[in-house]
Amino acid sequence: MNNTTLLRTMDRDESGKFSLRYAQAKKLRSMQLTDSAWQKLKDIGDSKNISRTDVIERFCREGENKQEIVLKALN
């Protein structure tokens, strides 16, 4: 598998290149968010030193328990 097929994160290695986190191809997606939600994703990402897309990726990859808590809170 080559570097173009791997998902990259904001983390960089010692030489300053992006380090690779996932072995799945990253595809461009589109979504609409409020400014508040966009800022919240940035704040969460900044606190963990990751990108907004990695915040979403981690949320989706985590166990269903955390997702269920969030979804129940939204209902």
> Is pLDDT larger for residue 47 or for residue 73?
47
Containing structural domain, residue 56 = 3-24+31-74
Please tell me the total count of domains within the chain. Answer: 1
Angle of helix 64-74 relative to helix 52-61, nearest 10 degrees?
A: 110
pLDDT higher than threshold 50 for residue 3: no
> Is pLDDT larger for residue 7 or for residue 67?
67
Are 21 and 9 spatial neighbours (Cβ–Cβ below 8 Å)? Answer: yes
- Model confidence over 21-61: pLDDT tens digits? 777 767 888 999 999 999 999 999 999 998 999 888 888 87
Residue 55: how many other CB atoms lie within 10 Å:
19
Euclidean distance between CA atoms 71 and 75, whole angstroms: 7
